[in-house]
Structure 1
Amino acid sequence: MNVLMLAAQEVRAGLRNRWVVATTLLLAALALSLVLLGSAPTGIVKADPLAVVVVSLASLTIFLVPLIALLLSFDAIVGEQERGTLMLLLSYPVARWQVIVGKALGQACILGFATLLGYGVAAGALALKVDIGTPAWAAFAAMVLTSAMLGAAFISMGVLASTVVRERATAAGIAVGIWLLFVLLYDTALLGILVADQGRHVTQGALNAVLLLNPADVYRIFNMTASDSVSTYAGLAGPGNAAPLPPAVLFAVLAAWVVAPLVLAVVAFKRKSV
C-alpha cells in the first residue's frame, strides 16, 4: 500500500509539473511525423506500413525514451534530500525500499502512459489510412511494451544515481553520462572493436554477451528480430547480430535491467544517512 501511495504521489507531481503532458505530446508528435513521412513509400514497395513504422519508432525510442527517463528520475532521492523533505518522508511509517520502489514505479507509470498514448495515437492515425496485418499489430504492441520497459530500466538507473550522491548537479552529470554511454558510446566502441577484430577473436557467443550488457541493444535486437514482419525491413540496425538469442531471453534480460539497478538503489539507500 505504501508503494502505491508513493507511486501515486509521483504521478500527481508529474501532472503538476506538466511532465505527463509534455512527454505525451512530444512522443505523439514525433511518432505522427514518422507515420506521415515514413509510411509514404510503402504503397510502392508493398511493405506493411506499420512494420516500417515499428522499425522507425524503435530507432527513435532508443535515443529519446532513455533521455526522458533519466530526466524524470535523476533527482528522485537527492532532490528530496536537498529540499529537506526526505527526512520528513522517512519519519512516516514507510520502509526505505518502499520509497525507492514507489518513486520508480510512479515515474515508470508516467513514461509508460506517455509512450502508450503517444505511440497509440500514431498507430491509430495510420490504421485510418491503410489496412494493417495482424503480425504488424503484434510487433507494434511488443514495441510499445518493451519501450516502456526500456524507460523503466533507465529510470531505475537514474534512481540509483540519485541515491548514491548528495547533490543534484552530481546526479545530473551521472545521468548524462549514463545516456551517453549506453545510447551513443557503447555501440560506437563495439563497432570499432568488431571492425578491428575482423572476426578473428570475437565469437558470436562473446558478441551476444556484450550486447546483453546494454539495455538499449537488448531493446533494439528484440524489436528488430522478434517479428518476421519487422525483421524484413529492419536491415542493419546496429553493430553485430544477436539473432540466435530467442525473444524470451531478450525480454527476460530487459526485465533484469529494470530490476537490478533498483535492487542496488535499495541497498545503497539503506546505508545512506539523511
Structure 2
Amino acid sequence: MSVFSRSHWAQIGVIADKEFHDRIRSRWVLAVSLVFAAFTLATSYFGAAAQGSVGFHGIEPLIASLVSLTIYLLPLIALILGFDALVGERERGTLNLLLSYPINRVQLLLGKYAGLAAALTCATLAGFGLAGIVIAVRAPAADWYQYAGFVISAVLLGWVFLSLAVSASVFCASRTSASGVAIGLWFFFVLVYDLLLLGALVATGGAVLGPLFPLLLMLNPADIFRILNIFGPADLHTMYGLVSVFPASLAEPLLLGPVMLAWIAAPLGLAAWRFNR
C-alpha cells in the first residue's frame, strides 16, 4: 500500500486535526491573530507619524512597513510554534504511544506539520484580514490585490520557518536544544545572513560575489519574502534598495513562489529522512 493512499492521507488528516484543535483550544490562534491585527492597524494609521501626519497614505508605504515588521515577528512565531512538535512528544513519553498506532513516521511528521501550519495560517489570515477589511474601505480596488499578495507571501514565509522548526524538532534530543536551534535559525536568517552577505560583497569589492548576489539572496527565505512584495522598480528602491543587484527578470512571483515552496519541502524532507532513521 502506498504511503500516499487515501487511508494514509486520512490518518495524516486525523493527526493534523488534533494539532489544529489543540491550538484553537489553547487560544493560541486568537492571540496571534490579535497581535497581527493590532500591529497592522497601528502601522496603517500611525506609519507616517514621523512625517507629521497620521492616517492611511497608500498601500505601498503600508506594505513596506508591514514587510519589515512581518520579517521579524512571523518567523519567530512559527519557530516557537513548531520547535517542540516531535521532541516534546518524546520528552513527554507520548511519541512511542503515537507510533504504536497504525501510522508510520512520515505520516506522523506530515500530520503534525499540517496541523500546525493550519493554525498558523488561520492566525495570519485572521490578523491581516481584519486589518485588510478596514484598509479596503479606504483603498481603491487595485490596492486590494497588492495587499492580498502580501498576505499570501506572509503565509508562505510562516510555512517555511515552521518547516525549519519541525526539522529542528526531529534532529534535536531535547526541547532545550531545539529551542536554542530555533532561536539560532531566527538570528541567522533574519539578522545575520544579510550582514554576512553584504560584508563579503564589500570585502571582495563585488568582483567575486557580485554576479551571484541575486542568487545568494534566494538562499534566505526572508529575502525572498521581501522581493515577493516588490511591485515596481520605484518600490524596490524605496523598500529594499536592491535595484542595482537584483534583476527584474527574477523578481517574479511565478519564479519566487516555487522557490519558497522548495524552502518548505526541503527541511520537511530532511526531517522525514532523519525521523525514519
The TM-score normalised by the length of structure 2 is 0.88
Q: Which residue of 2 aligns with 1:154?
A: 161
Is the Cα contact below 8 Å between 2:74 and 2:158 reproduced in 1? yes
Residue 5 of structure 2 corresponds to none
Tell me how far 1:203 sits from its aligned partner. 2.7
Deviations 1:210-251 (A, max 9, x none): 111111111111112xx23x9537614266742331332111
* Correspondence for 1:251: 257
Which of 218, 226, 236 in structure 2 is aligned with 1:212?
218
Equivalent residue, structure 2, for 1:23: 32
**Does the 8 Å CA contact 1:73/1:155 hold for their aligned counterparts?**
yes
Query: Given the alignment, which residue of 181, 188, 194 partners 1:181?
Result: 188
In the other structure, the counterpart of 2:130 is: 121
Q: Within 2, Cα distance between the matches of 1:233 and 1:220? A: 9
Cα distance in 2 between the residues matched to 1:116 and 1:101: 22
Cα-to-partner distance string for 1:166-203 (whole Å, 9 max, x where unaligned): 21000000000000000000011112222333333223
What is the deviation of 1:41? 9.1
| Aligned partners of 1:73 and 1:162 also within 8 Å | yes
Mapped pair 1:131 → 2:135: no
- Pick the aligned partner of 1:232 from 231, 235, 238: 235
Q: Give RMSD over aligned pairs.
A: 2.1
Q: Distance in 2 between matches of 1:115 and 1:241?
A: 31
Q: Which amino acid aligns with 1:168?
A: R
Partner of 2:266: 260
Runs of 4+ in 1 over 3 A off after TM superposition: 39-42, 238-241
1:96 corresponds to 2:99: no
Aligned with 2:120 (options 91, 98, 111): 111
Q: Is the 8 A contact 1:73 1:158 kept in 2?
A: yes
Aligned residue for 1:202? 209
* Amino acid across the alignment from 1:212: M
Q: What secondary structure does 1:148 align onto? A: helix
Report deviation, 1:60.
1.1
The number of aligned residues is 262
Contact 2:201 2:210 in 1 (8 A): no
- Following TM superposition, by how much is the alpha carbon of 1:53 offset from its aligned partner in structure 2, in angstroms? 1.4
Distance 1:167 1:35 in 2: 41
What letter is aligned with 1:243? P
**Bigger RCO (CA 8 Å, 6+ sep):** 1
Verify the 8 A CA contact 1:49 1:132 in the aligned structure 2.
Answer: no
CA distance in 1 between counterparts of 2:19 and 2:29 reads: 11
Moved more, 233-242 or 166-175: 233-242
AA aligned opposite 1:190: L
State the identity %. 41
Instruction: Answer yes or no: is the 8 Å Cα contact 1:50–1:132 preserved in 2.
Output: no
**Contact residue 66 and residue 150 of structure 1 kept, 8 A:** yes
Structure 1 residues not aligned, in runs of 5+: none
Paired with 1:96 and 1:24, the residues of 2 have a C-alpha distance of 31
- What's the CA shift for 1:16? 2.3
CA distance in 2, matches of 1:238, 1:41: 21
Corresponding residue number in structure 1 for 2:198: 191
Residue type matched to 2:61 in 1? Answer: V
- Asked whether 1:79 is paired with 2:83, we answer no
Pair 1:264–1:231, CA change in 2 (3 A): farther
Whether the 8 Å contact between 1:14 and 1:110 is mirrored in structure 2 is yes
Paired position in structure 1 for 2:65 = 56
* Residue 242 (structure 1) aligns with: 246
Structure 1 pair 238/104, CA: closer, same or farther in 2 (3 Å)?
Answer: farther
